[in-house]
Amino acid sequence: MRSLTAVLLLTGSSSLLSAGILTFDNIVPLSVLSAESHIVAAPALGTPGDINDAAGPFRFPRGIGLDGTVALTITKTTGTFLCSGAMIGSTAVLAAAHCFADNTGNNITTSVSVFAFPNGTTSTLTQTVLGSQVHIPDQYTGTTINDYDIAVVRLPGSFGTGVNIYDTFGAGDTITTAPFTVVGFGGRGAGATGNTLPSGQRRRGFNNFDAFLSPAVLISDFDNGLSANDTSCLIGAVCHVGLGNLEASTAPGDSGGPVFLNGKIVAVSSFGARLTVGDIDGALNSTFGEINGFVSTRFHEQWLDSILAIPEPGTWFLSLAGLGALTALRRRTR
C-alpha cells in the first residue's frame, strides 16, 4: 500500500494557485500507469514528530491538531504490517481497506493494534482488537486503484482526552485545489532520492489535488519546481510546479493516513504511481514526478455513517497498553 507518513520535502520555488473547485468533470484517464498499493513490514515506532505547532509553517489553511492521527500494526495471515489512520469517532479509526485485505478484497486480518500519541507527547496509548472489528465496503475488490479502498476499525473504548476526533467530508463540502495537509507514519526521505529512511515516525506534509481518476479517487503529483516534472500538467490536469520546500509525497506505511482540507478529512491515502512522463528516475520510489492516489470520504459519507452507528465491540484482549505490546509485535515482522 502506498502510505503517507513520510513527508518527502523538496527544495524549489513555489507557485501559488487559486483554490479552484475540483469536480468529477476534471477526471484524467491514465491508461499508462504503474501503481502500487503496498504495506510495509511493521517497524518499531519512534517519536511522533513535532507536528502540533499552533501556527504551523504553512500560510494556507492548516489549523487542526493532529493528535488523532494514529499508527496501526496489522497482523494478517501473511505477516505483520504498518499502516496509518485517524480517529473519526471516539472508538472508530479511519483507514484504507488494502491494509487489511488480500488482493481479492477479502479481510485476512487476525488482529489490529492502534497506537495513539496524545497531547503531542511520546507517550503511547494502545488498543488491540480482532480482525472481525475491521469494516470494509462490500464493493472492495482488492485492485490497486479502487473507489472502495477505505475501512473503519472499531475499538472497544475511547482513548480519552488528548486524542483528536475528526469530521469527514460530506455532500455539503467542496473539494478544491487548495493546499491540503497529509499525515502518516510511513517511510521518509527526500524527493530527489525517494523513500530511503525508515517508517514509524509521524510526519506531515502539503500538496494539492490535481484531478479525479474516478468518482472517488483523487490524485496529486510530487512537484520539484520544474515544469519537466509537473506530471499533472503533462497529462492534461492542473499545471503548477508545487509548494516549494513544503511539498510532500506519500510512501510505504502511509496507507490509510488522513488528508485534511478545511479542517476535515477529505480523503485517505491509497496508492502511489508513476507514468512514463514526469518521474525523475523511472522507478516507483516516492521521488519527484510521481503521483499519489487518495480515496474521497465524501463519496463514502453514507457508508461511514452506517459503520459509526454500529455499537462498540463488547470484548477485546488488549487495551491501553504501552510500548511493550509493540515490542512483542516487532519479533513477528518479516
How many Cα atoms within 13 Å fall on the side-chain side of residue 220? 33
State what percent of residues in the chain have pLDDT above 90.
47
Mean pLDDT, to the nearest integer, of 203-227?
Answer: 91
Residue with cell 499545471: 239
Q: Comparing 286 with 43, which gets the higher pLDDT?
A: 286
What pLDDT, on a 0 to 100 scale, did the predictor assign at position 1? 35
- Beta-carbon count within 10 A of 309 CB: 8
- In DSSP terms, 204 is beta-bridged to 183
Tell me the C-alpha distance between 315 and 310, whole Å. 14
Average pLDDT over residues 304-326: 60
> Which of 124, 86, 98 has the alpha carbon at shortest distance from 5?
86
C-alpha grid cell, residue 294: 487518495
Q: How far is CA 171 from CA 174, 276, 296, 302, in A?
A: 8, 35, 11, 10
Amino acid type, 65: G
**Burial group, residue 286, by CB count within 10 angstroms (0-12, 13-18, 19+):** buried
Tell me the mean pLDDT in the region 49-74. Answer: 59
Cβ neighbours of residue 80 closer than 8 Å, sequence gap 6 or more: 41, 42, 73, 74, 329, 332, 333, 334
Give Cα 124 distance to the centre of its chain.
20
Say what the pLDDT of residue 39 is.
47
Instruction: Find the mean pLDDT for residues 237-260.
Output: 90
Q: What is the pLDDT of residue 293?
A: 94
Q: How confident is the model at residue 161 (pLDDT cuts 50, 70, 90)?
A: confident
Q: How confident is the model at residue 33 (pLDDT cuts 50, 70, 90)?
A: low
**C-alpha closest to that of 180 among 267, 51, 291:** 267
**DSSP alpha helices (H): ranges in the chain?**
231-234, 301-308, 323-330
This prediction's pTM: 0.82
Place of cell 521521488: 287
Residue range 149-170: mean pLDDT, rounded = 94
- Confidence (pLDDT) at 330: 28
Flag the least confident range among 58-67, 235-244, 277-286: 58-67
pLDDT at 112: 97
How many degrees, rounded to 5, is the angle at CA 255 between CA 39 and CA 86? 135
Domains of the chain: 2-330 (2.40.10.120)
Q: How confident is the model at residue 190 (pLDDT cuts 50, 70, 90)?
A: confident
According to the model, what pLDDT value does residue 52 have? 38
Q: Do the Cβ atoms of 142 and 101 come closer than 8 Å?
A: yes
